[in-house]
Amino acid sequence: MDIASRPAEPAQNPQIADAAPAPQAPPVIRREDYLPPAWLVPEIALDFALGLDATTVVSRLSVRRNPAGNGAQTLRLNGDQISPVAVHVDGEAINDWRMDGPDLLIELSGEAHEVRVETALVPSGNSQLMGLYASNGMLCTQCEAEGFRRITFFPDRPDVLSTYSVRMAGAKATFPILLANGNCTAQGEGENGTHWAEWHDPWPKPSYLFALVAGELIANHATFTTMGGRTVDLNVWVRPGDEGRTQHALDSLIASMKWDEETFGREYDLDLFNIVAVSDFNMGAMENKGLNVFNTRYVLADPETATDADYDAIEGVIGHEYFHNWSGNRITCRDWFQLSLKEGFTVLRDQLFSAAMGSEPVKRIEDVRVLRIAQFPEDSGPLAHPIRPDSYQEISNFYTATVYNKGAEVIRMMRTMAGEERFRQGTDLYFERHDGEAATCEDFVKAIEDGAGLDLTQFRLWYSQAGTPQVSASLKVENGTAVLSLRQSVPATPGQPEKQPMPIPLRVALFDRASGTHGGESLIVLDKAEDSFTFDGAGHDPILSINRGFSAPVSIEMARPDADLVFLAAHDDDPFARYEAMQSLVVQHLVAAVGSGLNEAQREAGREAIGEAFGAIVTDPELDDLMRGELLLLPAESYLAEQLLVSDPGAIHAEREGLKAWLGRKLGGELRALHDRVSAVPYSREAAARGARKVKTQALVYIAAGDPAEGARRGYAQYQAASCMTDRQGALMVLASLDCPERELALADFLARYEGNALVIDKWFSLQAGSLHPRVLDHIKALASHPEFRMSNPNRVRSLYMAAAMNPVAFHDPDGEGYRMIGDLIRRLDPINPQTAARFVASLGRWRRVEPQRAALMRAELERIAAQADLSRDVREQVTKSLG
């Protein structure tokens, strides 16, 4: 059907014109209200006439009454900022359709019908980046969670699975490449320089997995032969000019496919797998069936423009989206409350994949660091929610560190308790039992329970209770028998004042001081409010190593002598526990220093203990540099703030910076020697060279803290000698915080050198916005009016303002200028891109945990946002909860 010539008429239905203004409080959607859909849509055929400024869509749905539904006559098709140009039922134009708010309602009398709806879209005007939008001259889609309803009217919920056929036509010059889900079944030339393509996806899927891409793209291609012998064509599509930066993404895809076969027995199920990189994208990437759409930052890399961390992130996200093909697409979610079913499990899968590709202990430490920085604060603040939430107003607000990262930790605990082999039996059963279904978290737990042979009755509390459990531990020894007493409490969270004890699996070991070894690790499960565990043959004064490998996402409270932590930091054979001991040593000291206050002698004693452990790490020849890099990181200020009921961000910053400078002075010689040694290692992607680069910049950080002039000298030398982005970015980061001429020289060079490379210019913005320079707020303000700043591009917005919101110096400016800046941003960005705007609210929402003067300023900023009329549902929900 040719719809290209039809003009996009405005809707004729009078009920659309005077739609009521959006209510102040968006309706609350509750998990317990779930009802199966009244109508199913076994098949859908979509026909697109593509244009950047005008696209028309004709959608033909074959609808069938759901035997498990409520028997309603009314077919409800969700819409969002679209109106029907024409509606047909069984081939006849009808006029008795109605609108209910954004939704289209049609009365249907029979069991099965064909419904045809035409819509007209303006992709270039779609700044929310949900639905069909224009990015960099091309067209692409983002449908998860509720973007499909911005393209056409549809029961836009994940438990309605349909087989999709897509036809698209458009100008060949603008859209030489036409992609959709599944396989291309036909293509041809049209009139007036147009061409068309037809795509068919044989796998029934929910609407959120639909995707379409059209534009001028170029592919890096490879093939992969699956374990069953299927040859799969793989393409990484990018804008011409970017093709030289796609090999790592393609290699990561191949590695993911192979790993999922070997580790989870999962084989790919189409003959084609396409990845497209787009530069305007709200999130990281999207697992659309057979057509993953990615933020360019998780695709494009070469050594000159991407850091080692960028390479790792690309590998992880490529894996993540690929793994969704089974944990997400073949088995999807019944409703959005089940989001962690696919996200928690898929994050665990991508973590295990990255660990297998690189260093397992280093990956574990990184994952725990992310959890503590991003998820712990969420879990203790006004936006806390269980990994399976009970209610929401806007589902986009629930793509959180809790659903994703804590969700992964919860499944990881099941794996720890079952052991790898039995866990695999559990996941095998899950994939077999629920293939082709829209499942629930409960289905997953039951499958693991049955397949792995675990009793997870009480464990299900991890799905329903929010809050990070606090476990306090104490150890007593008598006659060689050690008694470990544990007590847990799960803090109250919004809507959940009372909590029940949860099963907490803890890997523990008792070290003998003299030999530096332990008699074996045990796994204990604390499943009561209080319990004690006995260990024989423990010697007379053992040292406890607890929550090894971070076996449970809890925080352990235990007062311990510095000497014990120094011992574990040097001797623990669990690398995570070693890192943890180092962190605890520093946390304990800094919390004491900013809390009760330490006198000079006590502060000096604390620093000496830390300096001793640090010195050992800097010089230990046995340590590999990647691990050394982890051990040298000081705990984040947000994590330190978490340890205090109410914190003074200024005091935390000053004390932590003071320690950094002290370490830089104390270990100056060793740090300079380390910086010299690793600076001589030539570039390669091998672990040893990556480790060298990691400690190179860290050594520089401490050197600059202890001796800014030496830091400026070495930083500028590192910048100029850099043969890769890791070294160059690291040097520029250090220089950006210094008040020295080298800072301006390097910043100007960087901008000129990478002109036109958006991802690198993002780095230029975020390094400055994240700097500890005394005039950082002025710098951020100037950057906001820099010609390269663009409010419409989420990567650019995040590079400036997320870096600012996470920068303690800028954000927590005592006069509240940082809060005002983020508040202004939220109010300006909300009408453009509510999803991205809402992401900034959480930083202001921490006010209850901040000292009273700053707290009042933060709260006032939230109130200014709340007072704004016409706030999006996204921002409204987050602001209301943060004030509440």
Interface contacts to ligand ARG, rule CB under 6 A: 142, 144-145, 282-283, 285-287, 320-321, 343, 396, 399, 835
DSSP state of 395: G
Alpha carbon distance 282, 832 (integer Å) = 12
Sheet strand arrangement including 530-535: 530-535, 481-489, 470-478, 555-557
Closer residue to Zn ion in complex, CB, 380/397: 397
Closer residue to ligand ARG in complex, CB, 206/629: 206
SS3 category, 450: helix
**Smallest distance, Å, CB 855 to ligand ARG?**
30
Closer residue to ligand ARG in complex, CB, 135/396: 396
Closer residue to Zn ion in complex, CB, 327/766: 327
431 binds, among ligand ARG, Zn ion, none (CB under 5 to 8 A by kind): none
**Smallest distance, Å, CB 322 to ligand ARG?**
10
**Smallest distance, Å, CB 446 to ligand ARG?**
24
Alpha carbon distance 387, 402 (integer Å) = 6
Active site residue 449: no
**Smallest distance, Å, CB 325 to Zn ion?**
11
**Smallest distance, Å, CB 350 to Zn ion?**
8
Close Cβ partners of 620 (under 8 Å, ≥ 6 residues apart) = 628
285 binds, among Zn ion, ligand ARG, none (CB under 5 to 8 A by kind): ligand ARG
Alpha carbon distance 234, 686 (integer Å) = 26
**Smallest distance, Å, CB 678 to Zn ion?**
35
**Smallest distance, Å, CB 258 to ligand ARG?**
20
Instruction: Please answer whether residues 661 and 607 qualify as being in contact, where contact means their C-beta atoms are separated by less than 8 angstroms.
Output: no
Closer residue to ligand ARG in complex, CB, 293/663: 293
830 binds, among Zn ion, ligand ARG, none (CB under 5 to 8 A by kind): none
**Smallest distance, Å, CB 328 to ligand ARG?**
7
Question: CB-based burial of residue 744 (10 Å sphere; 0-12 exposed, 13-18 middle, 19+ buried)?
Answer: exposed
Closer residue to ligand ARG in complex, CB, 295/488: 295
Closer residue to ligand ARG in complex, CB, 277/858: 277
Closer residue to Zn ion in complex, CB, 444/662: 444
Instruction: Please answer whether residues 145 and 78 qualify as being in contact, where contact means their C-beta atoms are separated by less than 8 angstroms.
Output: no
Close Cβ partners of 209 (under 8 Å, ≥ 6 residues apart) = 143, 144, 181, 287, 288, 289, 329, 332
The 339-358 site mask, x for binding Zn ion (CB under 5 A), equals: ----x--x------------
Closer residue to ligand ARG in complex, CB, 160/283: 283
Q: What are phi and psi of 300, to 5 degrees?
A: -80, 125
Q: Are strands 162-171 and 39-49 parallel, antiparallel or unpaired?
A: parallel
DSSP string, 86-97: EEEETTEE----
**Smallest distance, Å, CB 207 to Zn ion?**
17
Closer residue to ligand ARG in complex, CB, 321/630: 321
Closer residue to ligand ARG in complex, CB, 144/366: 144
Close Cβ partners of 566 (under 8 Å, ≥ 6 residues apart) = 581, 585, 609, 612, 613
Sign of CA dihedral 632, 585, 807, 703: negative
Sign of CA dihedral 616, 620, 623, 626: positive
Point out the catalytic residue in the list 118, 198, 287, 321: 321
**Smallest distance, Å, CB 162 to ligand ARG?**
19
Give me the numbers of helices (H) and strands (E) for the chain, helices first please. Answer: 32, 31
DSSP state of 527: -
CA nearest to 556, candidates 498, 608, 475, 488? 488
Residues near Zn ion (CB under 5 A), total: 2
Q: Which stretch of DSSP H or E encloses residue 169?
A: strand 162-171
**Smallest distance, Å, CB 296 to Zn ion?**
18
DSSP string, 172-223: TTT-SEEEESSEEEEEEE-STTEEEEEEEEEEEE-GGG--EEEES-EEEEEE
CA nearest to 775, candidates 813, 801, 803? 813
Closer residue to ligand ARG in complex, CB, 159/707: 159
282 binds, among Zn ion, ligand ARG, none (CB under 5 to 8 A by kind): ligand ARG
Written as six digits, the tokens of 842 are 């959480």
396 binds, among ligand ARG, Zn ion, none (CB under 5 to 8 A by kind): ligand ARG
Closer residue to ligand ARG in complex, CB, 45/209: 209
**Smallest distance, Å, CB 400 to Zn ion?**
12
* Cα separation values, 120 from 3, 56, 81, Å: 11, 4, 11
468 binds, among ligand ARG, Zn ion, none (CB under 5 to 8 A by kind): none
Burial 98-119 (b: 16+ CB within 10 A, else e): ebeebbbebebeeeebebbbbb
Q: Are strands 98-100 and 84-89 parallel, antiparallel or unpaired?
A: unpaired
286 binds, among Zn ion, ligand ARG, none (CB under 5 to 8 A by kind): ligand ARG
Considering only the C-alpha atoms of the chain, give the largest distance between any 2 of them, rounded to a whole number of Å: 92
Instruction: Please answer whether residues 521 and 501 qualify as being in contact, where contact means their C-beta atoms are separated by less than 8 angstroms.
Output: no
**Smallest distance, Å, CB 142 to ligand ARG?**
6
Q: What are phi and psi of 23, to 5 degrees?
A: -70, 155
Alpha carbon distance 543, 328 (integer Å) = 44
194 binds, among ligand ARG, Zn ion, none (CB under 5 to 8 A by kind): none
* Cα separation values, 101 from 17, 78, 83, 98, 393, Å: 11, 9, 11, 9, 16
- Name the CA radius of gyration of the chain, rounded: 28
Alpha carbon distance 660, 595 (integer Å) = 18
Instruction: Please answer whether residues 609 and 562 qualify as being in contact, where contact means their C-beta atoms are separated by less than 8 angstroms.
Output: yes
Please choose, out of 235-243, 338-346, 609-617, 801-809, the segment that lies near Zn ion by the rule CB under 5 A: 338-346
Residues that bind Zn ion (CB under 5 A): 343, 346
Active site (catalytic) residues: 321
